[in-house]
A and B are shown apart, each in its own frame.
Chain A
Amino acid sequence: MGSKGRAWKFGDNITTDHITPSRYMHLRSNLFELSKHAFEDIRPEFSSSVKPGDIIVAGRNFGAGSSREHAPIVIKTLGVSAVIAKSFARIFYRNAINIGLPPVICDTSTINDGDLVELDLQEGIVKNLSNKAEVKFKPLPEEIVRILSEGGIVNYVKKHGGLDKF
């Protein structure tokens, strides 16, 4: 599993309110409309400019705050192929895996906004094609890769008949 795309660089402590502002709660049954407001308060151009395959690159504690699964969903809905961050908030990390959006923990300091980035989840390597920098990371556990490749935890449970079939 892997992907290639432009980096959208964010700083530390990006919260679920940055990703999906609480004031748009009335759009939570309309995920497509909700995704148009992703990162609106910090990067208003994000939802209209992001291209399928692009990668979000962030600092520490990405996805802090709410348990709203809508946060990784809108990121995936807009075509983002992965989120790479120095660290993730616990609930966001779990939600991202559950909905099939790969969260990768690694040093992101050599990646700049707009760089072309290639990600190999199995090998555990991020290649910055713009400045030739390479960063290694601990590959995701096999169970997590399986959940991601089957499109998320709900599909996984449907296919395998329960949680105890890991």
Chain B
Amino acid sequence: MGQTLVEKILSRKCGRYIGAGEIIIVGGLDCVFTHDASGPLVISRLNELGGGIGLDPSRVCVFIDHVVPSPSASISNDYKALKGFALEKGVRFHDQGCGVCHQLIAEYYASPGDIIIGSDSHTTMAGAFGAFATGMGASDVAIALKTGMTWLRVPESMRISVEGRLPKGVFSKDVILKIIGMIGAEGANYKSMEFHGSAIRRMNMEERMTITNMAVEAGAKCGLIPPDEETRKYLEERGRGDKYFKIEPDGDAIYSDEISIEASDLEPMIALPHNVDNVVPVEEVLGKRVDVVFFGSCTNGRMEDFKVIDKIIGGERIDRGVRAIATPASRNVYLQALKAGIIERLASAGVVITPPGCGLCIGVVGGIPADDEVVLSTANRNFLGRAGNPKAHIYLSSPATAAASALYGAITDPREAM
């Protein structure tokens, strides 16, 4: 019987035929990671299990990304403990300023066919490489660290095909917002979202990551894109070309749902407060006043995004009523944007640049909005209270829509500004 991509990946790991609905225990995990937000609880769970890790330390990572630089002694004490843990166990440690875990997983670790377990829901992002990557809680991550294994219910798959060419001003963020708006916040609950079609194949890896990053916003267990020449190129540029191989679903694989989207029909989309599936075309909210614009996050804080933002803002002054904050997703992105002159141009345009990390998306540091303020963010969540103030209103869009809106101080169609 034909297999979906997730069935193929898990079968390869288990050395036998695996089908949707099965409960499996899988070892040989390629990467298990945690970060500052959940790491202290992971360590405490691991200690309950007797401490010690049962897998190669080079496959384990600890990231400090959610709140950087630390604003308080209690957070710094947690970071000190996490660093101590990483040094003691000999695992990979990425300290404050290195960047968001998912971005660093993409830059340094993820490869086709991998199984990646992270204590963060957006772990799904590494599915852009054709890796099975999923978020779990602290207990599951601690057990994976201790035993080198995890248990999974093999998910059914939803096949999403995006064919054709995206119109000018429409980006991968608009594609995934459109899909989440169509199927809803639990439209892919428990499932694997598999993305196909010429529009997906035309996207580079950075654009694809935006899509798999947000698969979890439809409830998905993973979001997968079959590896191809773009994947090979990305890996080769980062010294991991030897990790590339092709893995794809069978032509007769069985899907629980199939969705087809014509790329040329798409337009810029925006998620309204306070749910990610509350999606409408940007056209419907044009002119809405914006107080804060956030450029960043694991969803849209990459070089590709900064190029688009730079193209729209250039050296022009952003609207004086807007506070715009740019947070590169990693130090590598920061340095690339710096060398390209983008950081300088954004700073002269009036944008505040903050250190690589999660920034305003998590809302502990980095420009918390005031009551009743409207935030337009390139991140992945607009839940009530998300940017640190439950009285603020968060909208989600592509970097292009956010940049055009920062220039004019109101929600603006990026096609007008490009």
Contact = CB atoms under 8 A, between A and B. Distances in A.
Interface of A: 13, 15, 17-18, 21-23, 25-26, 28-29, 41-42, 60-61, 64-70, 87, 89-91, 94-95, 98-99, 152-154, 157-158, 162-164, 166
Contact of A28 (B40, B49, B146): B40
B275 A13 contact: yes
Interface in B217-271: 219, 221
Contact of B137 (A25, A98, A162): A98
A58 to B, nearest CB: 13
A163 B364 CA distance: 36
Nearest to A41: B390
A17 B121 contact: no
Contact of A157 (B41, B49, B362): B49
Interface in B111-139: 118-121, 123, 135-139
B197 interface: no
B49 to A, nearest CB: 6
A166 B121 CA distance: 26
Contact of B143 (A65, A70, A153, A166): A153
B48 interface: yes
Given A42-B384, A89-B186, A94-B140, 7 more contacts: A23-B364, A61-B189, A90-B219, A91-B136, A153-B140, A157-B143, A158-B50
Interface stretch (B70-78, B324-332, B396-404): B70-78
A22 B137 contact: no
Contacts of B384: 15, 17-18, 41-42
Interface stretch (B10-18, B147-155, B282-290): B147-155
B136 A94 contact: yes
A36 to B, nearest CB: 15
Contacts of A154: 45, 48-49, 139, 142-143
Interface in B338-373: 362-364, 368
B149 A163 contact: yes
A68 to B, nearest CB: 6
A69 B139 contact: yes
B37 interface: yes
Contacts of A163: 25, 143, 147, 149-151
Given A69-B138, A90-B221, A26 B186 contact: no
Contact of B121 (A42, A65, A98): A65
B72 A158 contact: no
B277 to A, nearest CB: 8
B364 A26 contact: yes
B190 interface: yes
Contacts of A25: 37, 66-67, 75, 362, 364
A99 B149 CA distance: 19
A17 B383 contact: yes
